[in-house]
């Protein structure tokens, strides 16, 4: 990267203005991956009175455009882009600053910048406050990123809906464990995932045990922060996956989960692209224990981020109870999680999970809001032969009912479920299909088909 990625959310911090300091809007490219970049403007009030509302406008050259953006409202006229404050960051005290960011496609940079009608390079008096009326947001151009087109997601009845209330389906990939395959999650691979595969969503799978979070909480939290920024810069949604497996009771990690989700939600609360998967695959526990865990973790997230969609694991390795007594859906319906903007997860592996699982899933779709955060075309071990016929039956059902999904997994692990051949990540050869396994070619083709946003 050209520069270290910094948190793209709102920052409000004190500075010590020099005598007669200027009020400025300063631009920086904080990440550059060749075909695009992440940019930020920092508006610094060097005057002696508050700024009550701001407007930053600039021109981008032909061939360069804005995709996703955050902490601002955007209107566009030709190549002229105008960003205005949101309701929460319009006032800037003397000696303070706010930051907003966006993703640029193409190699160009902003020119002709004005802050409230005055040059962004500075004036010794605060710029005139712009009109109080809020301009309408523009419809994103064709080819804009999933986040730019859909904004903050919400749960509408049993559907995942975009900011306009339209039911949508997200399709994308899950990482493998970050303690083993973080080398596969980098700027080059994620640019391929976003731009070539046209993925809408990245699931960031952070194991808790097995050499994961519990061995280095600060280090793994930092990794997740970084991958969220990388997904955000490319306009993808990011699922933060608390990947607990063994022990199967999520309450075993309750204190760790509180600490982790507090930090993640606090850092990224102003983003519109974060989903929280709070328990990957509970096992050997009753629904009441899973619900008790959810009842304690969801308020932790909501205290920081009131809007993010939360994904709740289900019984028997998130099979909705199909791997147990088959009553998992009935138990959820009898005692659902009492919270807004939540969905329940279902996982399947097509070579292992037959028509009984498919029927369980079909029945649940009619009763619960569902998100398939993990599936494969092979056996439940993530290895063995692929059953593409059965996998397609699941995908057809999800497409018909707009159930979102992420496939396991975007790595070069030796098992058949990893999309890349062994050694791909070390070689950095992600583009095209030459380094894809059979399952990789199959899932890439199904992610690349047009979205219905």
Tell me phi and psi for residue 349, to 5 degrees. -130, 115
Distance from the first to the final alpha carbon of the chain? 31
Strands (E), 45-158: 51-52, 55-59, 65-70, 73-77, 80-84, 91-92, 96-105, 111-115, 118-119, 154-156
Mark whether 281 is an active-site residue: yes
CA distance 93 to 448: 46
Look up residue 9 and give its two tokens. 């959310």
Q: Which of 40, 229, 281, 315 is catalytic?
A: 281
Instruction: Quickly count: other Cβ atoms within 10 Å of residue 67's Cβ.
Output: 23
CA distance 445 to 453: 18
**Pick from 169, 283, 179: nearest CA to 237:** 169
Instruction: Quickly count: other Cβ atoms within 10 Å of residue 222's Cβ.
Output: 12
Q: What is the dihedral of CA 278, 416, 323, 240, to 10 degrees?
A: 10
Cα angle: 206, vertex 208, 213; to 5 degrees: 75
394 neighbors 156 (Cβ within 8 angstroms)? no
Are β-strands 36-44 and 24-32 bridged in parallel, bridged antiparallel, or unpaired? antiparallel
Mark whether 57 is an active-site residue: no
Residue with tokens 């002229």, as numbered in its chain: 80
CA distance 64 to 230: 20
> What is the largest distance, in Å, between two alpha-carbon atoms of the chain?
74
CA distance 362 to 397: 8
List of residues 6+ apart from 130 with CB closer than 8 A: 53, 54, 55, 84, 116, 117
Question: Active-site residues: which are they?
Answer: 281, 374
């Amino acid at each position: 990267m050209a520069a270290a990625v910094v948190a793209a959310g709102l920052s409000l911090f004190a500075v010590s203005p020099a005598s007669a300091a200027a009020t400025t809007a300063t631009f920086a490219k904080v990440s550059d991956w060749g075909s695009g970049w992440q940019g930020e403007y920092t508006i610094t009030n060097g005057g002696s009175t508050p700024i009550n509302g701001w407007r930053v406008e600039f021109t981008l050259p032909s061939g360069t455009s804005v995709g996703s953006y955050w902490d601002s409202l955007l209107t566009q006229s030709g190549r002229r882009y105008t960003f205005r404050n949101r309701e929460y960051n319009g006032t800037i005290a003397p000696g303070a600053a706010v930051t907003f960011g966006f993703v640029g496609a193409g190699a160009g940079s902003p020119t002709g910048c004005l802050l409230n009608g005055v040059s962004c390079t500075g004036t010794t008096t605060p710029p005139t406050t712009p009109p109080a009326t809020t301009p309408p947001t523009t419809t994103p151009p064709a080819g804009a990123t999933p986040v730019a087109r859909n904004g903050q997601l919400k749960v509408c009845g049993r559907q995942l809906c975009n900011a306009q209330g339209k039911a949508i389906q997200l399709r994308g990939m899950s990482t493998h464990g970050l303690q083993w395959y973080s080398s596969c999650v980098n700027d080059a691979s994620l640019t391929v995932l976003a731009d070539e595969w046209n993925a809408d969503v990245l699931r960031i799978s952070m194991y808790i045990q097995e050499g994961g979070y519990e061995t280095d909480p600060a280090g793994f939290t930092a990794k997740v922060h970084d991958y969220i920024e990388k997904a955000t810069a490319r306009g993808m949604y990011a699922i933060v996956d608390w990947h607990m497996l063994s022990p199967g009771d999520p309450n075993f990690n309750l204190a760790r989960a509180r600490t982790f989700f507090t930090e993640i939600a606090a850092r990224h609360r102003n983003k519109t692209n974060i989903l929280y998967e709070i328990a990957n695959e509970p096992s050997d526990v009753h629904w009441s224990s899973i619900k008790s865990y959810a009842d304690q973790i969801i308020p932790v997230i909501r205290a920081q981020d009131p809007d993010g969609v939360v994904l709740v694991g289900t019984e028997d390795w998130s099979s909705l109870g199909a791997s147990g007594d088959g009553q998992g859906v009935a138990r959820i319906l009898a005692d659902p999680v009492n919270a807004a903007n939540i969905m329940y997860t279902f996982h399947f592996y097509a070579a292992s999970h037959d028509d009984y699982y498919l029927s369980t899933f079909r029945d649940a779709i009619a009763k619960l809001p569902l998100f398939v955060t993990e599936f494969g075309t092979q056996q439940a071990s993530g290895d063995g032969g692929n059953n593409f016929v059965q996998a397609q039956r699941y995908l057809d059902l999800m497409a018909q009912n707009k159930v979102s999904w992420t496939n396991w997994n975007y790595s070069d692990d030796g098992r058949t479920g990893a999309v890349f051949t062994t050694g791909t990540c070390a070689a950095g050869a992600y583009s095209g299909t030459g380094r894809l396994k059979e399952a990789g070619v199959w899932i890439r083709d199904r992610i690349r088909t047009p979205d219905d946003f």
